[in-house]
């Protein structure tokens, strides 16, 4: 019992330490693959780390002190949700913590009164409205497939969750595009040069504030990809390899979608996200209930 | 920090340019020149920018805009004047509303001549700006350390 507890604490610590490294590398690979898709050489894979390191050294020209506090809270709650997930805790708790984190990002953005970050945060809220139903349904899908919300019990099943919940998987992968801020759903802010509202929610974040937001995004990405992997994990150790391959496949498809689609209006995003949620998640839920 | 020069983020502002230089600046980001391989990101946000790239001369209408953008950029920062107009005012120098080059309003670090400035020379200017950016950062660090010792 005590050993298991230490194991879980160890996993939490490993997440806290390694998630930004993995997230940063994935970001670097994303930029490299995107560049290759566009026929360019692209930057070095370590580029995101150079960017964050530089941002920490820039002058803090922030308009208020409140923003830094909110950004730090955003990072804390994202870390908490990921740590709870990799520590094997309740999945609902992880997702609620993630929503709280998103609220802190919106608070950080609206505290500045910049018209660009205000529009960005309005869009961020619409994005939340679009993906939240599917995210919550994903937790329900795990429950219906395994009879538990606890991650540590989900990984002990003999049949992977994907066998019961392929619809939930497709729906979750769909809303990941919104969560990763990939085109066509990069409404609130974007990682690319083709801006619309300058930088949206992150417009007024300077130096260390923007670095913190970026690191928080890396933590968030690793956590969300962890959820993708969880669909494939069973008591068999080889399933972790399958999960890793699935994670890479989903990430690659996200990059491909990002590079081949144009930004849509929020109305279409909302309709698509809720439509996919209803069809994939709803249908899967209905079938599982019947069985 | 030694890796500061590996992440120069660029802000492009079109003063009163004829758009010739602007097209060449944008050409730098295309697959042929791909300036992103040096870590350059064409950001539209002064708060995130390290290098302020201005094309075209300064007139009475954009003077305040240029000053404001410059003041919104956090230190260390480098200003790059691209094209003859941004350097001196160019053919528009004698116009009634033109003040002259960018250096009539804000301090300019690097001048890239040419009408229009070629992508190769713009990239050359950006690379020079990058090494200056690193030097400015190191000078700032030295100043800070000196202050702590006192």
Give the pLDDT confidence of B86-129 residue by residue, as tens digits: 999 889 888 898 988 899 999 999 999 999 899 999 999 988 98
The mean pLDDT value of chain B amounts to: 88
E-strand ranges in A84-163 read none
Full domain range(s) for residue B24: 4-149
Q: What is the sign of the dihedral through the CA atoms of A149, A150, A156 and A160?
A: positive
Q: Please indicate if any CB of chain A lies within 8 Å of the CB of B4.
A: yes
Residues 6+ apart with CB under 8 A from A104: A70, A71, A73, A74, A77
Q: Please indicate if any CB of chain B lies within 8 Å of the CB of A57.
A: yes
Q: Please indicate if any CB of chain B lies within 8 Å of the CB of A59.
A: yes
Residues 6+ apart with CB under 8 A from A184: A177, A257, A261, A262, A263, A264, A269
By Cβ distance, the residue of B7, B36, B45 closest to A42 is B36
CA A204 distance to own-chain centroid = 22
The alpha carbon of residue A262 is apart from the nearest alpha carbon of chain B, in Å, by 18
Provide the 8-state DSSP code for B78.
E
Rounded CA separation A123/A117 (Å): 10
Q: What is the pLDDT of residue B149?
A: 59
Q: What does the angle CA B16 – CA B22 – CA B27 come to, to the nearest 5 degrees?
A: 175
Q: Please indicate if any CB of chain A lies within 8 Å of the CB of B68.
A: no
Rounded CA separation B9/A199 (Å): 13
* Cβ pair B1:A199 closer than 8 A: no
The mean pLDDT value of chain A amounts to: 90
By Cβ distance, the residue of A40, A203, A210 closest to B36 is A40
Pair of tokens at residue B11:
């802000």
Rounded CA separation A131/A269 (Å): 10
Average pLDDT in the B11-18 region? 89
The alpha carbon of residue A215 is apart from the nearest alpha carbon of chain B, in Å, by 16
CATH number of the domain within which B26 lies = 3.40.50.12280
Cα(first)–Cα(last) distance of chain A, in Å? Answer: 35
Cα(first)–Cα(last) distance of chain B, in Å? Answer: 22
Q: Please indicate if any CB of chain A lies within 8 Å of the CB of B65.
A: no
B15, B14, B20: which is closest to B95 by C-alpha?
Answer: B15
- Tens-digit pLDDT profile for residues B26-77: 998 888 888 888 888 888 889 989 999 999 999 989 999 999 999 999 988 9
Q: Please indicate if any CB of chain A lies within 8 Å of the CB of B64.
A: no
**Number of folded domains in chain B?**
1
**Number of folded domains in chain A?**
1
CA A20 distance to own-chain centroid = 13
- Tens-digit pLDDT profile for residues A27-43: 999 999 999 999 888 89
Q: How confident is the model at residue B150 (pLDDT cuts 50, 70, 90)?
A: low
Q: Please indicate if any CB of chain A lies within 8 Å of the CB of B120.
A: no
Full domain range(s) for residue A233: 2-290
Q: Contact at 8 Å (CB) between B8 and B130?
A: yes
Q: How confident is the model at residue B148 (pLDDT cuts 50, 70, 90)?
A: low
A98, A97, A90, A87: which is closest to A12 by C-alpha?
Answer: A87
Pair of tokens at residue B82:
């691209």
User: Which residues of chain A, if any, have pLDDT below 50?
Assistant: none
Q: Contact at 8 Å (CB) between B39 and B7?
A: yes
* Cβ pair A53:B7 closer than 8 A: yes
A84, A98, A73: which is closest to A16 by C-alpha?
Answer: A84
pTM exceeding 0.90: yes
By Cβ distance, the residue of A31, A51, A57 closest to B1 is A57
Is residue A260 exposed (0-12), middle (13-18) or buried (19+ Cβ within 10 Å)? exposed
Rounded CA separation A11/A223 (Å): 13
Residues 6+ apart with CB under 8 A from B17: B55, B56, B57, B83, B85, B86
Q: How confident is the model at residue B136 (pLDDT cuts 50, 70, 90)?
A: confident
ipTM: 0.89
Q: What is the pLDDT of residue A1?
A: 67
Rounded CA separation A56/B76 (Å): 12
Chain A contact set for B37 (CB, 8 A): 35, 40-43
Q: Which residues pair with A214 in a beta bridge?
A: none
Q: Please report, for residues B53, B66, B73, B101, the alpha-carbon distance to residue B63 in angstroms, rounded to integers and kept in the order given.
A: 15, 5, 16, 11
Chain B contact set for A28 (CB, 8 A): none
Rounded CA separation B49/B78 (Å): 9
Q: What is the pLDDT of residue A250?
A: 94
């Amino acid at each position: 019992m005590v050993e298991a507890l230490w194991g879980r604490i160890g996993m939490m610590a490993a997440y806290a330490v390694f998630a930004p490294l993995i997230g940063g590398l994935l970001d670097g690979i994303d930029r490299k693959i995107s560049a290759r898709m566009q026929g360019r050489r692209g930057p070095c894979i370590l580029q995101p780390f150079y960017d964050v390191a530089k941002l920490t050294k820039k002058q803090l020209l922030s308009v208020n002190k409140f923003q830094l506090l909110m950004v730090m809270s955003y990072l804390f709650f994202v870390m908490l949700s990921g740590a709870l997930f990799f520590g094997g805790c309740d999945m609902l708790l992880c997702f609620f913590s993630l929503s709280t984190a998103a609220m802190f990002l919106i608070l950080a953005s609206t505290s500045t009164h910049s018209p660009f970050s205000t529009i960005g945060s309005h869009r961020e809220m619409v994005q939340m409205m679009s993906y939240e139903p599917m995210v919550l349904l994903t937790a329900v899908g795990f429950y219906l497939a395994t009879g538990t919300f606890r991650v540590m019990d989900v990984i002990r099943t003999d049949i992977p969750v994907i066998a019961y919940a392929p619809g939930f998987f497709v729906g979750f992968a769909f809303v990941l595009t919104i969560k990763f801020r990939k085109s066509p759903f990069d409404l609130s802010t974007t990682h690319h040069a083709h801006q619309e509202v300058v930088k949206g929610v992150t417009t007024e974040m300077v130096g260390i504030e923007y670095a913190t937001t970026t690191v928080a995004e890396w933590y968030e990405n690793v956590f969300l990809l962890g959820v993708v992997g969880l669909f494939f994990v069973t008591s068999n150790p080889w399933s972790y390899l399958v999960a890793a391959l699935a994670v890479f496949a989903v990430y690659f498809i996200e990059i491909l979608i990002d590079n081949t689609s144009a930004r849509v209006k929020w109305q279409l995003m909302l309709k698509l996200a809720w439509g996919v949620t209803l069809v994939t998640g709803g249908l899967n839920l209905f079938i599982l209930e019947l069985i | 920090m030694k890796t500061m020069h590996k992440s120069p983020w660029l802000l492009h502002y079109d003063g009163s340019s004829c758009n010739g230089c602007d097209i060449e600046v944008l050409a730098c980001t295309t697959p042929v020149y791909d300036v992103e391989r040096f870590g350059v990101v064409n950001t539209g946000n002064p708060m995130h920018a390290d290098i302020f790239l201005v094309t075209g001369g300064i007139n009475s209408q954009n003077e305040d805009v240029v000053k404001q953008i410059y003041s919104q950029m956090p230190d260390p920062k480098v200003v790059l004047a691209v094209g003859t107009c941004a350097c001196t005012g160019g053919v528009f120098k004698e116009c009634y509303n033109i003040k002259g080059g960018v250096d009539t309003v804000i301090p300019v670090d690097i001048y890239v001549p040419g009408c229009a400035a070629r992508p190769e020379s713009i990239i050359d200017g950006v690379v020079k700006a990058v090494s200056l950016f690193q030097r400015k950062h190191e000078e700032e660090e030295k100043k800070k350390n000196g202050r702590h010792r006192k």
